[in-house]
Amino acid sequence: MSYVYMKVLELAPQRYERGMRLLTLGRLDQVRQDIAARVSVDDRVLDVGCGTGALAVMLAHRGAHVTGIDIAPAMLSQAAKRVREEDLADRVELKEMGAVDLDTAFPSEGVDIVVSTLVFSELSDDEIEYTLAECWRILRPGGQLLIADEVLPDSMLGQIGTFLFRLPFVIAAFVLTQNTTHRVAGLEARIAQACFQRLDTVEYLMGTMKLFVAERVG
């Protein structure tokens, strides 16, 4: 995901959903639907990087109790507005905090499901390792981890296709910030190293985006 474009969207959260749909060629809605289909009534769900609250609201409508966290106040403000409009204040709690604060904010084994969409690609390697370890701690035994994010495709065709699609965003980010963008490398292996058992993987956009479904072991 283009770092520059992501930051622009975060500064204008009312346009966030439109921008994310553009970047994912409309697949983000399907990703959220696929995640929601795995959530049941009264599940306790943690949404890491909840953004404007679109997924949190969707899960609450399915009867889940959702806690959404995000580091961007403007995004949380938009999420709170969405929760009020949907009359879901009794099922959605929002907190201004990042993934690195999980160790002080949530008790062990208190959550049934942890979800995260397009967040891990914005974390450093150390932050990914830490966040996965905290997700394991927070989840009850047998709880599920659902992560959807940009990844490096397995096939050569997918790698070529995603390179061509992403090239304009990569160039813009480098020109403006002297930094390039990145996708999560080896996310499936990292999830396994954190003592999760893989249950399912769903691919989107020629394998450039994946939904990983895993279960806490132990």
Give pLDDT tens digits for 17-71.
666 666 666 688 999 999 999 999 999 999 999 999 999 999 999 999 999 999 9
pLDDT per residue over 161-216, tens digit each?
666 666 655 454 444 433 344 678 889 999 999 999 999 999 987 777 899 999 99
Q: What is the pTM of this model?
A: 0.84
pLDDT digits (tens, 9 = 90+) for 136-152: 999 999 999 999 998 87
Q: What average pLDDT is seen over the chain? A: 84
Give the ranges where 37-143 is alpha helix by DSSP (H): 54-61, 73-85, 102-105, 125-138
Structure letter (DSSP) for residue 151:
B
- 14 CB-near residues (< 8 Å, 6+ apart): 78
Of 65, 72, 35, 32, nearest to 51 (Cα)? 72
Q: Do 70 and 96 meet the contact criterion of CB atoms below 8 Å apart?
A: yes
Query: Which residue has tokens 């959404």?
Result: 68
Task: Specify the higher pLDDT residue, 16 or 193.
Answer: 193
Q: What tokens appear for 28 in the block? A: 């983000």
How much is the pLDDT for 209?
86
Q: What is the pLDDT of residues 99-125, one digit of tens each?
A: 989 999 999 999 999 999 988 988 889
